[in-house]
Amino acid sequence: MALAILSVVVFILARATGDPLQLILPMSATPEDYAEARRYLGLDRPYLEQYLSFVGHAVTGDFGMSLRARRPVSELIWQRLPNSLSLAAFAMSVSLAIAFPLGILAAVKKGTGVDRAAQVIAVLGQSLPTFWVAIVLVEFVAGRLQWLPAAGNEGFSSYILPGFTLGWFVVAGMMRLLRSAMLEVLDSEYVKLARVKGVVEGKVVWVHALKNALIPVITFAGIYFAILVTTAIVVETVFAWPGIGRLAYEGISSRDFPVIQAVVLTTAAIVAVVNLGVDCLYAIIDPRIRYAR
């Protein structure tokens, strides 16, 4: 349903971005050349027909030809998507690996140095503009120190800079949520009961408390993912990462309709699938939630 609305919106927006032919054809092109090219690319057909044929093909995974690259858009997407997904997965796992221990520690050792350090990281993470961090990292770590590659994807070392840049924001938010959720749960009756029963403190924190503290974190996981996808456009552009974020940027700057449509729909579909996964995870972790309406 959401995808259907989105496809119409995207179709209209993509059409509204101006005439792509002005960018493709040489300056000296005659009006006849324009008509010829328009017919060749199918842009002379009525909008409704263009839309229906777009939807008809999109359902089967065929997004048409890129106006600029003259290759099937699905090919471009398939070529770029793995790069984006692996970068997102790397960024997500890095941020979880940092956010979890830090968030829990901050809650358990509330008011200590660890807690304060965690808070500083959290606030900084939400206040630093990603693209600026990216530039600073490219300049110092990749440029002056020459430790890591600055652009492109040439194996694992290429993942580190864009991955951390991308994950930084998520670390901040996740850690913060986990800390506040843990504090709330650690103060609750059932945790006190567990302690009174003589359960080892480590088990209380990691098993009893964490299980419930995870619920709000999971709620927000879907939103974080959408933010990650958005941030990826900027990060991929700065690090010249061959993913769909940069494909979107390129597509828009050359008014490549089919590419824009395909990227937006793919992204929306991925976000939708992730949200569905989050909902399912939810039901598993929290037995109070039932999806019977």
Q: Which of 50, 79, 86, 180 binds another protein (CB under 8 A)?
A: 180
Could you say which residues in the range 231-260 bind another protein, by CB under 8 A?
A: 231, 233-234, 237, 248-249, 252-253, 255, 260
Q: Does 16 bind another protein (CB under 8 A)?
A: yes
Among positions 143, 206, 211, 280, the unique one binding another protein when judged by CB under 8 A? 143
SS3 for the chain is CHHHHHHHHHHHHHHHCCCCHHHHCCCCCCHHHHHHHHHHHCCCCCHHHHHHHHHHHHHCCCCCECCCCCCEHHHHHHHHHHHHHHHHHHHHHHHHHHHHHHHHHHHHCCCCHHHHHHHHHHHHHHHCCHHHHHHHHHHHHHHHCCCCCCCCCCCCHHHHHHHHHHHHHHHHHHHHHHHHHHHHHHCCHHHHHHHHCCCCHHHHHHHHHHHHHHHHHHHHHHHHHHHHHHHHHHHHHHCCCCCHHHHHHHHHHCCCHHHHHHHHHHHHHHHHHHHHHHHHHHHHHCCCCCCCC
Contact range with another protein by CB under 8 A, out of 49-57, 61-69, 96-104, 284-292: 284-292
67 counts as binding another protein under rule CB under 8 A: no
* Least distance between another protein and beta carbon 41 (Å): 18
List the x/- string, 93-132, binding to another protein by CB under 8 A.
Answer: ------------------x-----------xx-xxxxxxx
Cα distance between residue 266 and residue 61, in whole Å:
10
Note whether 146 binds another protein by CB under 8 A. Answer: no
Interface with another protein, residue 292, by CB under 8 A: no
Which of the stretches 11-19, 45-53, 57-65, 92-100 binds another protein when contact is defined by CB under 8 A?
11-19
Interface with another protein includes 187 (CB under 8 A)?
A: yes
Q: Does 265 bind another protein (CB under 8 A)?
A: no
Is 175 exposed, middle or buried, given 0-12, 13-18 or 19+ CB atoms closer than 10 A? buried
Which residue, 31 or 113, has its beta carbon nearer to another protein?
113
| Least gap, CB of 118 to another protein (angstroms) | 13
Q: What is the dihedral of CA 103, 104, 110, 116, to 10 degrees?
A: -30
Tell me the per-residue interface mask from 212 to 231 with another protein, x by CB under 8 A, - otherwise.
x--xx---x--xx-xx-xxx
Q: Based on the shown chain and the rule CB under 8 A, indicate whether residue 275 belongs to the binding site for another protein.
A: yes
Q: In whole angstroms, what is the distance from residue 87 CA to residue 76 CA? A: 17
Least distance from C-beta 32 to another protein, angstroms?
A: 27
Minimal distance in Å, beta carbon 45 to another protein? 21
Which residues make Cβ contacts (< 8 Å) with residue 266, sequence separation at least 6?
A: 77, 81, 244
Q: Which residues of the chain form contacts with another protein (CB under 8 A)?
A: 1-2, 5-6, 13-14, 16-18, 111, 123-124, 126-132, 135-136, 138-139, 143-144, 173, 177, 180-181, 183-184, 187-189, 212, 215-216, 220, 223-224, 226-227, 229-231, 233-234, 237, 248-249, 252-253, 255, 260, 263-264, 267-268, 271-272, 275, 282, 286, 288-289
